[in-house]
Chains A and B, each alone.
Chain A
């Protein structure tokens, strides 16, 4: 499905996509957050971009761990420790690998999403990125015997469906929880950025 070179290519594409959607992600964060999701994510992935050249000959685990540490150090908002933990744990799950197949990818995603749950102490239906992550992972696991493209396609569909669903949820975690019922109708920025990331992976493989 992907070797180290491909992973780096995907990370570059994720960086471009986040930069492209920076204003939109920040706009989503205005009514229910602290108006910085796009800015923070673009800052973090911008720093990741600078490190990718030096990672070209490294294993996938090292690449992902470096991404995680960079995000933790540079994002500055809640998405820093959340995506940071996800990539760090993903890196541990991919340690030593220079090639991954669909099965490896699903295991890595599983580990990463668990890391987000542990860091944020959130569960499904709290209007967080997990509302896109968990259904997408389940959808991908259900198609695990298919080829990578098909698996990712299902994952992306489920992720965006999850994003739509966040509009109907009252936030009980994060900044949006201060708004209570007033958070209804707004889509979660973190679930949105995750869906872009998965979409980029699906386009690139």
Chain B
């Protein structure tokens, strides 16, 4: 894929604020250019039907003769579509940075949306490619949402950045016989509605598991956790998505000196 960086003049451009720019220079990081990765894709309209059950809930109304068993499932196709879209956009951004001779990308921002309809996905990543002056080139370019002094603080407490990351899990709850009104198969007030609780839990724990499996040796901080609940035909979809930066602990954590409390004067 051709990159937008070919034929650029030597002057650099960046998305850094002025304080972040100054801090990067103080850290020995030289900004090379604003780099972007972009991906627009079509999500298969069959993906929402591709849920597979992980748990069944027996019919709750034995007397009426209705026997619509409810079940809870995962919709991996949908999640994979978004995660691979993010992965591709990230690779494209890192490719632009590598073409500039950078060692990493700081201040990465991610935008995700449906450009046309619910079956399309758009991922746009951008950040500032930087070169570590006098430092050896890493085996793989690193990327982080942080920049400036916050990045310096990260290293100060013993971490080095790995990569920006995106993880998600969609739980699909197919309702059985009036499951919404039946708590564990009983009718009345005060009964735990097990299927809904399970669906909420599956979406969240699934997303956290995906994030952990991405890189077991790394931790994900600054996670932006979003949960959406949508009603489909006969089914409820609960999606949990996590966006953050993976970091690796490079040495033992050392205590940080107690913060100084301040009162800010002025407007």
- A and B held together in a complex: no
Question: A: which residues have CB within 8 A of B?
Answer: none
- Which positions in B face A, CB cutoff 8 Å? none
